Amino acid sequence: MAIFVRCIDNTLAADVLVVGEIYEVMHINERDGYYVLSGLGRFTMTRFEVVSAAAIEPARAQQGFSRAKVKRASRRPA
């Protein structure tokens, strides 16, 4: 089952993270305190709060796609 987190702090990463956005976690490095986000790299866990699956489904239904896919696509070179 996938884990999703909501950004609560984008200090020094505003060009990559957006406060309030939901991101998919690809890997958790608990020892070092990092989440590896899908297509975006690694960020400290303190920047995020874990989001329940029930909270994610309505957002996906409204948008028709996941925010993680949008963020990955926007990072590709033109």
Q: Nearest-5° angle of CA 1, CA 25, CA 43?
A: 160
The pLDDT score that the predictor gives to residue 33 is 95
The pLDDT score that the predictor gives to residue 63 is 52
Model confidence over 2-50: pLDDT tens digits?
Answer: 899 999 999 999 999 999 999 999 999 999 999 999 889 999 999 999 9
Q: Higher model confidence: residue 41 or residue 70? A: 41
The pLDDT score that the predictor gives to residue 54 is 74
Could you please report the per-residue DSSP string of 8-54? ---TT-TTT--TT-EEEEEEEETTTTEEEETTTEEEEGGGEEEE-HH
Asked if residues 39 and 75 have their Cβ atoms less than 8 Å apart, the reply is yes
State residue 45 phi and psi, 5-degree precision.
-65, -25
The pLDDT score that the predictor gives to residue 76 is 44
